[in-house]
Chains A and B, each alone.
Chain A
Amino acid sequence: MDDPWVRLVAEQLRIVGLVHEAFDADEIAGDLADRTALNDSLDELIAEAGPEPDPIAFDLRWGE
Chain B
Amino acid sequence: MKYLILIISISLQLFAGQAVEKFNQANELYNNGEYKKAVNLYEQIIDNGYNDSKLFYNLANSYYKLEMIPNAILNYEKALKINTNDEDAKFNLRLANLKTIDKIEEVPKVFYIRWFNGIINYLGSNLLAWFSIAFIWLALLAFILFIKANNSVLKKLSFSTGTFFLIIFIFGTVLTYYSYNEEENKKEAIIFSESVYIKSSPDDEGTNLFMLHEGTKVQVLDEVDNWKKIKIKNGNIGWIQPGSIEII
Same complex origin of A and B: no
Q: Identify the A interface with B (CB < 8 A).
A: none
